[in-house]
Amino acid sequence: MVITIDRPKKRNAINAEITEAIDLALNELDDDPDLWAGVITGTPTMFSAGTDMSSRESRSTDRGGEYGLIRRQRIKPLIAAVEGNALGGGFEIALACDLIVASTTARFALPEVQRGVIATSGALFRAMRALPINIAREMLIAGTVLDAYRAYQLGLVCEVTDPEQACAAAVALAERICAASPHSVQQTLGALNRQLAQDDAAGWEATRIAVEAILASEDMQEGLAAFFEKRSPEWKGR
């Protein structure tokens, strides 16, 4: 199955409608015994800019959590095929997948602190699992951007392609996975995920504590106001 986030006028930002569509597609991937692997991608110039800041509707589902994906208990492989920017929640979608394929146009970043907020959809623990801790820390607190080659060198990305070829390469990788026993693949992923479950629980608890502090902060209000007013924020430090 190939799932395409196709909302280019909004930089493929995730709102309630996109969340529901992702959830429905992944439910089908999970439940259809004839589907053995999936690919999630964006448009040729943008993977996803993350949360649609103008949308106030829920971007979570019972089965998948944030974006219909972030907390989903999956045993079928899901590959992110990244073209262009994977920013904030867009990067967190990629981190929630099992593998990442990226074209040379790909850029990965977690710019939340520049808006007075923090990463809430798994990056606070998945980034340091997928990357060296100091690189993850730099991305989270400085908003540093990784290009595709740097991400490949650091082990985040498993293959770099020419522009507009990431999805084709991800499908080819999925086909190689599907040449193996689906039962063996699913049991392998299940075993890996069981080993990570305790770390995930601690990561979500740490994220919850940080989010509560942010929601009560003046800096969050200022950061969001500055974002919508297209100006530089004036931080209060509290």
Q: Which DSSP symbol is given to 184?
A: H
Residues 88/115, Cβ–Cβ less than 8 Å: no
**Axis crossing angle, helix 123-130 with helix 182-215, rounded to the nearest 10:** 130
d(CA 66, CA 123): 12
Annotated active-site residue in 20, 66, 83, 92: 92
Q: Where are the alpha helices (DSSP H) in 216-237?
A: 218-229
Residues 97/80, Cβ–Cβ less than 8 Å: yes
| DSSP E strand boundaries for 88-164 | 99-103, 107-109, 146-147, 159-161
- For 209, counting Cβ atoms within 10 Å of its Cβ (0-12 exposed, 13-18 middle, 19+ buried), the class is exposed
92 is catalytic: yes
Residues 38/26, Cβ–Cβ less than 8 Å: yes
The pair of structure tokens assigned to 92 is 């967190």
**Axis crossing angle, helix 89-96 with helix 123-130, rounded to the nearest 10:** 60
d(CA 82, CA 10): 17
Annotated active-site residue in 17, 112, 159, 175: 112
20 is catalytic: no
Q: Which DSSP symbol is given to 50?
A: -
**What are the catalytic residues?**
92, 112
